[in-house]
Amino acid sequence: MKVLVTGGAGYIGSITATALQQAGHTPVLLDSLVNGEQAFTEGRIFYQGDIADRPLLRRIVAEHPEIEACVHMAALTIVPDSIARPYAYYQNNVAKSLELFDEITRLGCTRLLFSSSAAVYGPAPDFEVYEDHLLAPSSPYGRTKLMIEQMLADLAASTDLRAVVLRYFNPIGSDPQLRSGVYAGIPSHVLGQLVRTVLGEQDTFTLTGTDLPTRDGTGLRDYVHVWDLARAHVRALERFDAALEAADSEHLVLNVGTGQGVTVRELHAAVERVSGVSVPVVTAPPRPGDAVGAFANVDRAAELLGWRAELSLEDGIASSLAWARQRNQVLKR
Ligand SMILES: NC(=O)c1ccc[n+]([C@@H]2O[C@H](COP(=O)([O-])OP(=O)(O)OC[C@H]3O[C@@H](n4cnc5c(N)ncnc54)[C@H](O)[C@@H]3O)[C@@H](O)[C@H]2O)c1
């Protein structure tokens, strides 16, 4: 199957493209390179441009009329940045997605797989969240994701567009061949910060938030290996129509996580275990917009996609460390 992947030069997009290729499918990448890496597009069908560029979308579909679905990953994604620049986030993520959805529906590309986030959920006292949990994002970034989900539900109800929404929890790691991974020089995510400390790129790991209502006071997350996440996309595309039919709906939301919550202190201990390196910690108050955390109930994805995460937290950490060691070579920096 040929699949349009917006944001295909990004972290998750490029790894999903690898998983699609390995499963015998052909990704067609669309990315503006506002972020992302040109190196991740090498050897692939790639269009550099914006998701809201309607003439470009028409050209892509004219040149690849076999495109059967669109995976929409293009977005601005950094929570603190979204607090500082809400206009950029609402414009890029919400307004431009609306243009994309309208144009691809007109072009007859009516299967849309959307990258949403656990950031759409409100607080969960026992941390486990089902797809019907309270939706109450705590940042402009999370609100853009929720607004896009709502747009998709409305469009699916009244047009030919069909939508499967994947709410990712916290992706970590690289693909098995270490072809792509987190490319930011100084990653803002917690594992990226731990990895930098292991590699000696910084002296200490700053643990933000130690007084939270979790079992050890630190933030809790559901770290899912990005290769498992990429496989979830392949499965969702292959079972797209069947999953919607089984759900008796034009629009479906699925959590994609491991079903396990891990605190920052537990992650820190796991990183020390996997790397064999001691990581000094300093503590600081939580960052604005940071959620206490949650883990996914993943029964719906198991039932409708036949997908479950297979790789462990340790696999994800080892993969992140291996990628960080070879990142500059891949990125030719
Ligand atoms: N990484 C995570 O922790 C995480 C968690 C949950 C959800 N997500 C979602 O997964 C998707 C991919 O995230 P990622 O971590 O790979 O981010 P990323 O920044 O690496 O990839 C996003 C890509 O989208 C491109 N892009 C942004 N706006 C564009 C536009 N208007 N037109 C064309 N291209 C554009 C960027 O250049 C970038 O390559 C995003 O939608 C993100 O919100 C990510």
Q: Which atom of ligand 1 is nearest to the CA of 168?
A: 6
pLDDT in the model for residue 187 = 81
Q: Which atom of ligand 1 is nearest to the CA of 145?
A: 43
Report how far ligand 1's centroid is from the alpha carbon of 35 (Å).
Answer: 8
**One-letter amino acid for residue 202 of the chain:** Q
Q: Is the CB of 74 under 6 A from ligand 1?
A: yes
Does the pLDDT value for residue 329 go beyond 90? no
Q: Report d(CA 98, CA 100) in Å as an integer.
A: 5
Q: How far is CA 137 from the centre of its chain?
A: 16
pLDDT in the model for residue 184 = 84
pLDDT in the model for residue 307 = 98
Q: Is the CB of 144 under 6 A from ligand 1?
A: no
Report how far ligand 1's centroid is from the alpha carbon of 9 (Å).
Answer: 9
Q: Is the CB of 96 under 6 A from ligand 1?
A: yes
Report how far ligand 1's centroid is from the alpha carbon of 20 (Å).
Answer: 17
Q: Which atom of ligand 1 is nearest to the CA of 116?
A: 7
Region 36-60 average pLDDT = 97
Q: Is the CB of 149 under 6 A from ligand 1?
A: no
Does the pLDDT value for residue 289 go beyond 70? no
In the chain, the percentage of residues whose pLDDT exceeds 70 is: 100
Q: Is the CB of 161 under 6 A from ligand 1?
A: no
Q: Is the CB of 230 under 6 A from ligand 1?
A: no
**All domains in the chain, ordered by first residue:** 2-172+222-256 (3.40.50.720), 190-220+259-294+311-331 (3.90.25.10)
* DSSP β-bridge partners for residue 31: 48
Report how far ligand 1's centroid is from the alpha carbon of 185 (Å).
Answer: 16
pLDDT digits (tens, 9 = 90+) for 228-255: 999 999 999 999 999 999 999 999 999 9
pLDDT digits (tens, 9 = 90+) for 140-169: 999 999 999 999 999 999 999 999 999 999
C-alpha pair distances (Å), 190 with each of 71, 170, 277? 26, 10, 17
Residue 63: which pLDDT band, with cuts at 50, 70 and 90?
Answer: very high
Report how far ligand 1's centroid is from the alpha carbon of 135 (Å).
Answer: 21
Under 8 Å between Cβ of 8 and 45? no
Residue 300: which pLDDT band, with cuts at 50, 70 and 90?
Answer: very high
